[in-house]
Each structure stands twice: as structure tokens, then as C-alpha cells.
């Protein structure tokens, strides 16, 4: 599509999309690409520096870091890639509905939205996780729910901005029904803001997921995960810096890639980068 072409025309867009694609491919194909078993412990090879056998060295349990890094993004990407569209969908629809409805419903629900947003994110996430565990089937709905709430705000604001314009009044005056107006007149104009928001949501969800793993509340060992790997390697940074740097580089490049792509997307559809906040 034209938007994609415009995104690729900018250096930031090209780099961003490139990085993201690379990561998605790695996450998808890594089980067939990795040289070693991610959980294979080799007590004799602890903290081996990078060499021909282990390109990125080994960690404190002798596991190959390259393998673990390539596989480390799988769960994070899987969870967030499913949760993000759900969040944008439910938050977007609610926000559009509120933006159109206005009145009492809008006032009341926005207060509830504000109240939920006022609570610290860690509290919200942990309350669920500590009770139900950190499995994929808990994380996906939890992330989707909590990260959909800020989308309500964005969608509502975008809707309110469009609704005031004359072409909506023209459609109303002609006699089109509410559903028809939303679908044909409103959505195409709001979708852009939602797409950019969706891209940003994905990056923040990844951050949250990694932070949870880092804190010990996310992925359970011995499954490889970047957040977990960084947490583990902290104690040994003096002796084996590569054990930390590999997952750091992996996570950072993915998130930077998404941000660049989102920025290029925003400019390609004519928006200034979303002024929203992560939580």
C-alpha cells in the first residue's frame, strides 16, 4: 500500500521495519536454526567466553547464549503480538463509542478509566499474576485488558476530533444511520491514529513483559527469555558481560525497531507521533 511505501522511503521507517521483520523471522524460525538445546546444562563450560563453538559464549549454567538469545524473544513476541490487537480492538471500539455517545455514559466511564489509569501498573499486573500464575493464558488477557484502557482515551479523542467536522454533519443531515456513519465516515479517519497507537502499544507491552520477567514474575526458568536472562546475568556481569549484553542487544533492537517504525508510520499517515503514555 501507499502508506507502506511512504514508510520505507524514510530511513527511520526502513530501519525500523527491517529490525522488526528480522526479529519476527528469528522468533518464528529459531527452533530450527539454533545450534544447541536451550536448556542443556554443561557444568564444565560455565562462563565460556565467545569462541568458535559458542559464538556468544555460555552462561552460569553452561548453556549456549546464542541459542537462548535467539529463542528468548519467542514467548514475549507471541504473547504481545496476540494481546496488542485485542487491546487496540476493545479499547478502540469502546473509545469510539464513548466519543460518539457523549453525555452521561461518557462522563461516568471516563471517570472509571481515569481511576484505573491512576493505579500503578505493577499493582494491577501483579495482583492478577500472583493469584493466577504467569502462564500465557493469564498474561495475554491481562495485558490485553490493562493496555487497552489507555487506548480508550486515544480513540475517544480521535473520534471527538473527527465528529466535529462538517462531513460528518453532512452525512447525518442526509439521513445515514449511526452504524453507517461510523463505518464509512468515521473509521477510515480514526484508523490511522489507532494504527500508530497500536504500534506503540506493542512496544510498551514488550517492555512490560520483559520487566515482569526481569522481576521474576513472568516467564519461569528454564525457558529462555530476555528479561530473565538479564536478571540472571546481573550478578555475574563482572566475569561474563556477554551473558547480559546479548539479551540486552536483542531486546533493545526490537523495541527501537518498533518505535522507529511507529514514528515513520505516524509521519506517513500525517500524524505527529502519539503523545500518549505507556500505562
Partner 1 sequence: MLRLVLNRLLLGLITVALASAVIFGAVEALPGDACVAVLQRDAVGQRLENCRRDLGLDRPALTRYASWAAGALRGDLGVSAGSGKPIATLLGERLRNTLLLAGCTLAVGIPLALLLGVLTGLRRDGALDIVLSTGGILAMTIPEFVSATVLIFVFSIGLGWVPGIVLAAPGAPIADFFPGIVLPVAVLTMVMTAHILRTVRSSVIEVMASDFVRMATLKGVPRARIVWRHALPSALLPAVNVIALTIAWLLGGVVVVEKVFNYPGLGRFMIDSITERDLPVVQALALLVASVYVAVNLAADLLTLALDPRLRTHRARG
Partner 2 sequence: MSALIDIADLSIGFTTRAGTQAAVLRHIDLAVRAHETIGIVGESGSGKSTLALAAMGYLKPGLGVLGGAVRFAGQDMFAPTPAVPAIRGGRLALIPQNAGQALTPTIRIGAQIAEALRLHSSLPATAHPARVIELLARVRLAAPAELVVRYPHELSGGQQQRVAIAMALAGEPEALLLDEPTTGLDVTTQAHVLDLLRDLAADTGMAMVYVSHDLGAVARVCARVAVMYAGEIVAEGTARQILRTPAHPYARGLIAAIPTLHEPRLPIPLDGRPPTPGATEPGCAFAPRCALAEYACRATPIPLTPSPGGGTIRCRRGPDALRLPLRQDGQLRTPHEDQAATALLRLDGIAVHYARRSLWQQLTNQHPTAAPVVDNIALSLRPGETIGLVGESGSGKSTILKTIAGLIAPLRGTTTLANTPLAPAVAQRDIHDLRRIQLIFQNPDESLNPRQTIATILAQPLQLYFGLTGDTLRARSADLLAQVRLGPHYLDRLPAQLSGGEKQRVAVARAFAADPDIILCDEVTSALDVSVQAAVLALLDDLRRARNTACLFVSHDLGVVRALADRVVVLYQGRICETGPAAALYATPAHPYTEALLGAVLEPDPDHTPRLLAADVVEQGPPATGCPFQNRCHRRLGDICATTAPPTQDLGTGHLVRCHIPLTPRPETAA
Judged by the rule CB under 8 A, the positions of this chain that interact with partner 2 are 165-167, 169-176, 184-185, 188-189
x-marked contacts with partner 1 along 8-37 as a string, rule CB under 8 A? ------------------------------
Of 26-34, 44-52, 92-100, 251-259, the window that binds partner 1 (rule: CB under 8 A) is: 251-259
Angle (nearest 5°) at CA 177 between 173 and 182: 100
In the structure grid, which three cell numbers stand for residue 6, read together?
511512504
Q: Is 266 in the site for partner 1 (CB under 8 A)?
A: no
* 219 Cβ neighbours under 8 A, 6+ residues apart: 75, 76, 134, 213, 225, 227, 228
Q: Is 271 in the site for partner 1 (CB under 8 A)?
A: no
At 225, is the secondary structure helix, strand, or coil?
Answer: coil
Of 71-79, 127-135, 161-169, 176-184, the window that binds partner 1 (rule: CB under 8 A) is: 127-135
Task: List the one residue from 8, 34, 45, 116 that touches partner 1 (CB under 8 A).
Answer: 116
Q: Where are the alpha helices (DSSP H) in the chain?
A: 2-9, 11-33, 65-72, 74-101, 103-118, 121-132, 136-163, 166-174, 178-180, 187-215, 226-234, 241-268
Calpha distance 140→85 (Å, rounded): 11
The size of the interface with partner 1 (CB under 8 A), counted in residues, is 43
Q: Is 168 in the site for partner 1 (CB under 8 A)?
A: no
At 63, is the secondary structure helix, strand, or coil?
Answer: coil
Nearest to 182 by CA among 192, 174, 171: 171
Q: Is 109 in the site for partner 1 (CB under 8 A)?
A: no
Residue 131 partner contact from partner 1, partner 2, none using kind-dependent CB cut-offs of 5 to 8 Å: partner 1
Task: List the one residue from 56, 77, 134, 251 that touches partner 1 (CB under 8 A).
Answer: 251
Task: List the one residue from 78, 126, 187, 274 that touches partner 1 (CB under 8 A).
Answer: 126
Nearest to 257 by CA among 202, 193, 214: 202
Q: Whose Cβ is closer to partner 1: residue 156's or residue 185's?
A: 156
Task: List the one residue from 5, 28, 111, 183 that touches partner 1 (CB under 8 A).
Answer: 111
Calpha distance 203→267 (Å, rounded): 18
At 164, is the secondary structure helix, strand, or coil?
Answer: coil
Q: Is 115 in the site for partner 1 (CB under 8 A)?
A: yes
- Within positions 37 to 76, which residues make up the interface with partner 1, using CB under 8 A? none
Assign residue 256 a region (left: φ > 0; alpha: ψ between -120 and 50; beta: otherwise): alpha
Residue 214 partner contact from partner 2, partner 1, none using kind-dependent CB cut-offs of 5 to 8 Å: partner 1
Specify the DSSP class assigned to residue 64: B
Q: Is 252 in the site for partner 1 (CB under 8 A)?
A: yes
Total Cβ atoms within 10 A of residue 108: 11
Residue 259 partner contact from partner 2, partner 1, none using kind-dependent CB cut-offs of 5 to 8 Å: partner 1
Binding site for partner 1 (CB under 8 A): 111-112, 114-123, 126-128, 130-131, 203, 207, 210-211, 214-215, 227, 230-231, 234, 237-238, 241, 244, 248, 251-252, 255-256, 258-260, 272, 275, 277, 279
Amino acid at each position: 500500500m501507499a502508506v507502506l511505501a511512504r514508510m520505507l522511503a524514510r530511513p527511520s521507517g526502513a530501519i525500523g521495519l527491517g529490525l522488526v521483520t528480522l526479529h519476527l523471522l528469528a522468533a518464528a524460525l529459531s527452533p530450527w536454526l539454533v545450534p544447541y538445546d536451550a536448556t542443556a546444562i554443561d557444568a564444565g563450560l560455565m562462563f565460556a567466553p565467545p569462541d568458535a563453538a559458542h559464538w556468544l559464549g555460555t552462561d552460569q549454567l553452561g548453556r549456549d547464549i546464542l541459542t537462548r538469545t535467539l529463542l528468548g524473544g519467542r514467548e514475549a513476541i507471541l504473547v504481545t503480538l496476540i494481546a496488542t490487537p485485542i487491546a487496540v480492538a476493545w479499547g478502540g471500539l469502546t473509545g469510539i463509542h464513548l466519543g460518539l455517545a457523549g453525555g452521561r455514559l461518557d462522563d461516568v466511564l471516563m471517570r472509571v478509566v481515569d481511576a484505573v489509569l491512576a493505579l500503578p501498573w505493577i499493582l494491577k499486573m501483579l495482583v492478577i499474576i500472583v493469584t493466577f500464575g504467569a502462564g500465557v493464558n493469564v498474561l495475554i488477557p491481562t495485558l490485553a485488558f490493562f493496555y487497552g484502557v489507555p487506548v480508550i482515551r486515544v480513540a475517544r479523542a480521535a473520534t471527538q476530533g473527527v465528529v466535529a467536522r462538517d462531513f460528518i454533519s453532512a452525512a447525518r443531515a442526509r439521513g445515514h444511520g449511526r452504524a453507517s456513519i461510523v463505518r464509512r465516515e468515521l473509521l477510515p479517519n480514526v484508523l490511522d491514529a489507532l494504527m500508530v497507537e497500536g504500534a506503540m502499544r506493542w512496544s510498551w507491552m514488550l517492555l512490560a513483559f520483559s520487566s515482569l520477567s526481569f522481576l521474576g514474575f513472568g516467564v519461569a526458568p528454564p525457558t529462555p527469555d530476555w528479561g530473565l536472562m538479564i536478571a540472571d546475568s546481573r550478578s555475574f556481569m563482572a566475569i561474563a558481560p556477554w551473558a547480559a549484553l546479548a539479551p540486552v542487544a536483542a531486546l533493545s533492537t526490537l523495541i527501537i525497531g518498533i518505535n522507529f517504525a511507529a514514528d515513520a508510520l505516524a509521519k506517513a499517515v500525517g500524524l505527529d507521533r502519539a503523545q500518549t503514555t505507556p500505562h
